[in-house]
Structure 1
Amino acid sequence: MIRIAARLALLWVCLAVPAWAQTCRQTSHDGQSYAVCEVHAGDDLRLFLTDEAGATIGTFDRLRAMVAGQGKRVVMAMNAGMYHPDRRPVGLYLENGQIGGRLVTRPGPGNFGMQPNGVFCIARDGFAVIETLAYDRVRPECRYASQSGPMLVIDGRLHPRFLPDSSSRFIRNGVGVSADGQTAWLAISDRPVTFHEFARLFRDALGARDALYFDGRISRLYAPELGRDDFGFPMGPIVALIAPADDGQTTGNR
């Protein structure tokens, strides 16, 4: 009887936890801790930069307010690419098919210009992380796209300039995509990590075939499932998973 009761209790717990609760989770790899949000093809994942009046959104609070006015809610969100002091995207930016920034193909200073860099593409049937020059040749049909750099994982290999013994550590965030393009992982480190450590999270722990660095230092996450609503200076591009506001769930911290 005790064993049967325990099984029934476990079944009740499993049924009581909705699928949405699995969007974001805490995980660890090689002694480092990360928050990882998993999104699937067909989910309403979008990029945001400006509101209807053309003003930069910049913060999670403003994004939530804008989306709430449309009868929807933000499931999770994070910064999604590098930007100029006025918060304009550094490279390519597409929002619902509209161009907000041009593709940069030349090498340059800083992390963005550490080639190979790449583009995160949200298409109607899935996701892709594409090296910049390959994107320029193919020009895939992306509803949303954000260029950033460097690439973290390129066709299953780490960026050639990443050093296992690097001393450069920052809070970092980025995105990785499965080989079939049906799953995207948006991740942020809980503590400062090296590029090499962060890239291995995507390749070795998550199984991403390709992954792209979004930023460091200013990296932030909104994930009410994890009690996260990171605060900081206004951002440029933001990637967010959107859901109907009336689906019975809450955006408050748990």
Structure 2
Amino acid sequence: MGCVAPADAVDSRDLVFDSQSYFAVTVDTRREDIELYWRNPDTDQPFSTIDALRTWTTGKGRPLSFATNAGIYDREFKPLGLYVENGKALVPLNLIHGNPRSGNFSLLPNGVFAVYDDGSADVHTSEGFRDAGRKARWATQSGPMLVIDGEINPQFDNGSDSMKWRSGVCAKTPHEVVFVVSRVPVNFHSFARLFRDEIGCRDALFLDGTISQAFTPDDGYAGAPAFMTKPYAGMIAVFPKRR
């Protein structure tokens, strides 16, 4: 059931799909701004937690409507792939394949979630994003892709016993972005089918697993238990659109 929320709040709801529970947030980019944050510009230190980011943005007069961790990062807590913050690529597009240390990132194809100057958003495979040649205002590269042009990633096994808390994103339309975090451990195939068959996404991207959480002021935290979380690198933040 969707929550009844003020005009500036995101649309959040709980979903049950194939007897598994999820928390979904839909963002209308005509009413809300999607941005990415990694380091606090006042200190140049990583925010690391949603709470720290929330405190900082509130102090700047921009209370969060929604936040979640933005994707895969390396052992130095640096985004593993493309990371664009306010038009500046802090980490370049990563098209290196087959590195086992990259974990899920190397389960191909991986992809990019991007938001542009006009407020539109999309999800592409990493090669598709490169080939489109469109400059992003905000972007994060992660992987694997969950759904590609309406098809489940063929690398996924419906019977896989790799069950983890997982988060992902799709752009149903250029202005309707849906973020989902599982409330229970699920496998990739089930998570991908949720995006395709329940939410109706033609392209969807895995953001992260095991440590993923999502936050809204009305709902609090959903996703992995607090004791599972670790410091985040980039985070996705949503605010009421500037007036």
Structure 1 length-normalised TM: 0.85
Task: Read off the aligned partner of 1:184 and give its amino acid letter.
Answer: V
**Structure 1 regions of 5+ residues with no counterpart?**
1-13, 248-254
Q: 2:81 and 2:149 mapped to 1: Cα distance?
A: 22
Q: 2:220 and 2:50 mapped to 1: Cα distance?
A: 14
- Give the SS at the match of 2:177: strand
The question of 1:77 aligning with 2:77 is answered no
* Aligned residue among 226, 234, 243 for 2:240: 243
Work out whether residues 8 and 240 of structure 2, in 8 Å CA contact, stay in contact via their aligned partners in 1: no
1:208 is aligned to: 201
- Measured after TM superposition, the shift of residue 135 of structure 1 is 1.4
Task: Read off the aligned partner of 1:37 and give its amino acid letter.
Answer: V
Q: 1:57 and 1:227 mapped to 2: Cα distance?
A: 19
- Measured after TM superposition, the shift of residue 21 of structure 1 is 5.2
The question of 1:185 aligning with 2:178 is answered yes
2:57 is aligned to: 67
Equivalent pairs, count = 231
Q: 1:193 and 1:217 mapped to 2: Cα distance?
A: 10
- Measured after TM superposition, the shift of residue 71 of structure 1 is 0.7
Q: Deviations over 1:118-165 (max 9, x none)?
A: 000011231100111111222212100000000001011110111111
Aligned residues: CA RMSD: 2.0
Q: Deviations over 1:160-208 (max 9, x none)?
A: 1111111110000010111x32211110000000100000111111111
Task: Read off the aligned partner of 1:54 and give its amino acid letter.
Answer: D
1:195 is aligned to: 188
Instruction: Mark the structure with the bigger radius of gyration.
Output: 1
1:86 is aligned to: 76
Work out whether residues 119 and 131 of structure 1, in 8 Å CA contact, stay in contact via their aligned partners in 2: yes
Structure 2 length-normalised TM: 0.89
- Measured after TM superposition, the shift of residue 106 of structure 1 is 2.3
- Give the SS at the match of 2:131: helix
